[in-house]
Chain A
Amino acid sequence: MPGNNHKIIFTGPVGSGKTTAISAISDIPVLKTDENAQDMTKKRKQTTTVAMDYGLLNLDKGERIHLYGTPGQERFEFMWDILTNGGLGLILLLDNSRPTPFKDMKFFLNAFKDFIKNNKIVIGITHMEYNTTPSLKTYNQELQKCGINAPILEVDARDKRDIETLIKALLYSLDPWLGK
């Protein structure tokens, strides 16, 4: 049945690269719902996502994967449950240039804890090229303290291959039989 509702959700704080990552792999131009940034967000970028981003992967036989990007601001937290409903997996992007990336990680892990309990999550760390600390090793240590085992990979949200590798890590974590 082509009219499915399979989706992969991209989440993370403001400026972590969610919109860019979806644009990198989407088969359609990403539908953005950006507004001029207000309050604290303006310090990081001129516009920000206020509802959600939407992209699409067209597969064989008319099947599709919807790509949803959550708004990064915490005041839109009420939307996250709605967006994750029916999701295949979660991609959390974290910006290594933000002052407290571990706090961000824990915040999003907690916000999506019910979804993560029943599904899989992969974490992509962006902006590492100019901000080498904290290192991936430290991220992994912090993640293990949260009792979660998930891939953490360095990514450039603009690089299609990086985002594809993140999704592959998600898929093989969900189903190691793939490729056999």
Chain B
Amino acid sequence: MPKQNTTEPIRVTTIGLDERSQEVLRIAFSSASKGTCILSDDATADVVICNMDSSNAKALWNKNSVLHPDRPVVVISVKDPCLDNSIYVSKPINITTLITSINQAHLNRGELTFSKVSNATATQTQQHIHSAPPQPRTIQDKNKETEEPPVPDGQWQDESDTVISYYSPTDYLQGKLQEAFVLAKSKKTAVQLSIKLKGGWSSITTDPTHNKVISEINNEELKSLCTTPICCIDTRSKLVNNNDFFEHNKNDKLHIEDTNEQFLWKIALWTSAGRLPQGMTPSHLIQLKHWPNLTRLTQSPNDIRISALLTEQPSAPALIAKVLGIPITHVFSFYAASHALGLTTSATRNSAQKPSFNIPQKSKHHSLFGKILNKFSS
């Protein structure tokens, strides 16, 4: 982290963050910044953090630009809004990165002259660098791949965590695919979504009659596409005859074949990458209608444990993470994939009410069960 050239702490104010988020920031600053940053009021602040995902972000941004044209701004958002005179920090927020950016903005005050880049003209690479969510790590669980959502150091994971990264599936390939699935089902014929890649056009075809998806794009490329904003991807879709389609693909070994559920599950998992779909909150009560078919779906960390809890009783992602002692990003990814398959239901409760949750009992065979699990993972 760059050192300040003054012993005075940098005074930071926020726009578009609620009180709880500010409280989290205050705690994070006191523990992680070693006194280099403190939250202050708007009038005396050296740097402002602007949450561009808040509902009135644009208005607040404009107001701030008028009132404090020379004050450096650190923009936090899921996607890079490419705003002038600002430093962008991608969500989910890594506190170390945020503090470094605040220091950088403060040191470079008056020199920030970033050009605005419009989405229409931005290249895919530029957009990718700026706005791509954290890339999932892949870990090997025996012979199966497990998608490990990123858990940056210093990321807040308790129930008070409101600096959560959100995304809308419709802003990504997932949205286009779900549209294609719906169209295929309603028209009762296969729908082909073609995507322009470096080597030309490649297709993903969903066939409702046989419950199959055939993809000419390999999983590595798909993973990358999943976190690229859809505005940066050229796509075309068309209806195709089921029989022609299967005749064409019969001898083609260069494709991946999944059921619709398998395909959508992995796409949602990769698109989420530890983020929460918009419309959900970490304290929103959810329940699983039934277990996902975990023997046939791409694994995600702690999927069996989360399923066991969420089929028993409604719970909130933040609470599940706390009870199981797992990163909340694992719960978000699992929720995103389950939700895409229509496996989740929302439970309502009074907003003032704390989530009621019957803490499950530890089995008297706890140690024995642990040994069985160890045997399976050895």
Q: Which residues of A contact B (CB under 8 A)?
A: 6, 57, 59-60, 63, 65, 88, 132, 136-137, 140, 143-144, 149, 151-155, 161-162, 164-169, 171-180
Contact = CB atoms under 8 A, between A and B. Distances in A.
A175 B308 CA distance: 9
B369 A174 contact: yes
A165 B362 contact: no
A154 B369 contact: no
Interface in B267-293: 289-291, 293
A161 B375 contact: no
Contacts of B291: 140, 151-153, 169
Sorted nearest first, the 7 A-B pairs with minimum C-beta distance are A175-B363, A140-B290, A172-B308, A151-B291, A59-B371, A177-B362, A164-B376
Which residue, A137, A166, A172, A180, has most C-beta atoms of chain B within 10 A? Answer: A172
Contacts, number: 105
Nearest to A159: B295
B372 A177 contact: no
A178 B211 CA distance: 36
A143 to B, nearest CB: 8
Interface string B317-335: 0000001110000000000
B309 A176 contact: yes
A175 B365 contact: yes
B304 A168 contact: yes
A136 B372 CA distance: 27
Contacts of A164: 376
A56 to B, nearest CB: 12
B293 A176 contact: no
A172 B325 CA distance: 14
Interface residues of B, number: 36
B305 interface: yes
A157 to B, nearest CB: 11
Contact of A176 (B211, B296, B305): B305
A161 to B, nearest CB: 7
Interface of B: 142-144, 211, 289-291, 293-296, 302, 304-305, 307-309, 311-312, 323-325, 360, 362-363, 365-366, 368-376
B97 to A, nearest CB: 29
A13 B211 CA distance: 28
A180 B373 contact: no
A60 B374 contact: yes
Contacts of B366: 175, 177-178
B275 to A, nearest CB: 24
A161 B312 contact: no
Given A144-B290, A180-B324, A174 B365 contact: yes
B111 to A, nearest CB: 49
Nearest to A143: B290
Given A144-B290, A176-B308, A161 B365 contact: no
A114 to B, nearest CB: 19
B369 A171 contact: yes
Given A165-B304, A169-B308, A176-B324, A155 B371 contact: no
A178 B376 contact: no
Given A88-B365, A154-B295, A155-B295, A179 B308 contact: no
A171 B372 contact: yes
B101 to A, nearest CB: 35
Contacts of A149: 290, 311-312
A164 B290 CA distance: 20
A165 to B, nearest CB: 5
17 contacts: A57-B372, A57-B375, A60-B371, A65-B368, A65-B372, A140-B289, A152-B291, A154-B295, A169-B294, A172-B305, A175-B360, A175-B362, A175-B363, A176-B309, A176-B312, A178-B369, A180-B324
Contacts of A175: 360, 362-363, 365-366, 369
A168 B376 contact: yes
A143 B291 CA distance: 12
A165 B377 CA distance: 11
Contacts of B302: 179
Contacts of B373: 168, 171, 178-179
A167 to B, nearest CB: 7
Given A165-B295, A177-B362, A59 B375 contact: yes
Contacts of B311: 149, 151
A28 to B, nearest CB: 14
